[in-house]
Amino acid sequence: MTHVSYRSIDVDGFEVFYREAGDRTKPPLLLLHGFPTSSHMFRDLIPLLAESFHLVAPDLPGFGLSALPSRDKFTYSFENLAKVMGRFTEILGLQQFAIYIFDYGAPVGLRIAMAHPERVTAIISQNGNAYEEGLSEGWNPIERYWRDPTDANRKALRDLLTPQSIRWQYEHGVPDVSKISPDGIALDSWYMLRPEADEVQLDLMLDYASNVALYPAFQAYLREHQPKLLAIWGDKDPFFLPRGAEAYKRDLPNAEIRFLDTGHFALETHAEEIANGIINFVKG
């Protein structure tokens, strides 16, 4: 049986919730979730990896059970998310670690890696994009908001925050939706009902443009430091296209690329395949 600990830690005045499992003498693996979820998305993966890794899965600021300070006290930007997560690893004493990056976790993790390349031993990108060709047409309304941040364009994005939209994000591209647990959908929808949670998410959608602007810098980091990288991708993701996974080979010729017959939330249906892929990748 895998023992998972559920903890909170003060990160320079910011409370961060995290899950932890595995022997602390094993190689550390930092699991970074995406939108609109939390570390709960790793609930099936953690037991499958706990014998091989020291696993740490935090909730990003404003997500899950981590602090959700008001927007006048904390600026919700990817730069600030990465700063909090970077300090989180320092306070936990993670001197070197691999990172699992998914969705929003990708720009957070890559910012951490750029700031301290000596700390990141390997990257597992599960639908974690770093190339413009990986962006699908599903980003069009968000890109419209980047170009013209009006109230009308912000309001148009609220449909992405509804329970119906969250369910669609989980189920799109999944051949058998009966394999999707309703728990993650329900939990993500519940978190979205907290005061100001919707505004925080809209702020981050606007700031996502800063990640796209950093894509050349992310790619330069990859070329210079040549980290080991496994891109394991749900190939029917409505947001991040398979071309985004294949593009890693441009900067990392030795990158391993694998596709799974599923959608964005690949862990919901393919946790065992992803776990085996990670274990073989690290051993290889």
The DSSP call for residue 193 is T
Sole residue written with tokens 């891109």 = 231
Rounded Cα distance between 247 and 139, Å, is: 18
Measured distance CA(41)–CA(188) in Å, rounded:
10
Kindly give, in sequence order, each residue whose CB lies less than 8 Å from that of residue 199, ignoring residues fewer than 6 positions away. Answer: 71
C-alpha 174/C-alpha 169 separation (Å) is 10
- The pLDDT value recorded for residue 1 is 67
Give me the pLDDT at residue 79, please.
98
The domain ranges of the chain are: 4-283
Q: Determine the 3-state secondary structure of 121 from DSSP.
A: strand
Closest C-alpha among 15, 5, 107 to residue 57: 5
Check: pTM over 0.85? Answer yes or no.
yes
- Position 282 scores a pLDDT of 87
Beta strands 14-21 and 54-58 are antiparallel
Task: Give the number of other CB atoms < 10 A from CB of residue 132.
Answer: 12
Q: How far apart are CA 109 and CA 131, in angstroms?
A: 15
Alpha carbon 243 to chain centroid distance?
Answer: 18
Cβ atoms of 207 and 78 within 8 Å: the answer is yes
The active-site residue, picked from 33, 54, 264, 270, is: 264
Bridge pairing between strands 14-21 and 28-32: unpaired
pLDDT at position 283:
78
Residue type at position 218: F
8 backbone dihedrals φ, ψ, rounded to 5° = -130, 145
What does the pLDDT profile of the chain (284 residues) look like in tens digits?
689 999 999 999 999 999 999 999 999 999 999 999 999 999 999 999 999 999 999 999 999 999 999 999 999 999 999 999 999 999 999 999 999 999 999 999 999 999 999 999 999 999 999 999 999 999 999 999 999 999 999 999 999 999 999 999 999 999 999 999 999 999 999 999 999 999 999 999 999 999 999 999 999 999 999 999 999 999 999 999 999 999 999 999 999 999 999 999 999 999 999 999 999 998 77
> Is-catalytic flag, 264?
yes
C-alpha span between 122 and 82 (Å, rounded): 17
- CATH number attached to the domain at 4-283: 3.40.50.1820
